[in-house]
Amino acid sequence: MFAGQQNQFRKGADQERGFVSCEKCNSPIAVQRPNNVSIEFSVPCTKCGHRGIYFKRMLMAENPANRRR
Ligand SMILES: [Zn+2]
């Protein structure tokens, strides 16, 4: 019997952040817990301050290869 695994709330490498791109300046906005957001949500852009409405399906996974400027 292996009763050692008690409260393992972290299941593997679940996505903890998602990104949407600002509709105004196109910079990526981090969204915490993408699994928790509603279908439609609004987040303020950290860069220009514009608060846009985004949809859950617009969320992108965190992808370092995507950060080219
Ligand atoms: Zn912006």
Counting every residue written for the chain, the total comes to: 69
CA of 38 to the centre of ligand 1 (A): 21
Q: How far is CA 26 from CA 20, 22, 29, 51, in A?
A: 9, 4, 9, 12
60 Cβ partners below 8 Å, 6+ apart?
18, 19, 20, 21, 28, 66
The pTM assigned to this predicted structure is: 0.66
Residue owning tokens 């409260």: 7
Residue owning tokens 């292996």: 2
CA of 15 to the centre of ligand 1 (A): 23
Q: Residue 13 carries which DSSP code?
A: S
Give pLDDT tens digits for 8-39: 555 555 668 899 999 999 999 999 989 899 99
Tell me what pLDDT residue 38 has: 94
Domain boundaries, the chain: 17-63
Tell me what pLDDT residue 16 has: 84
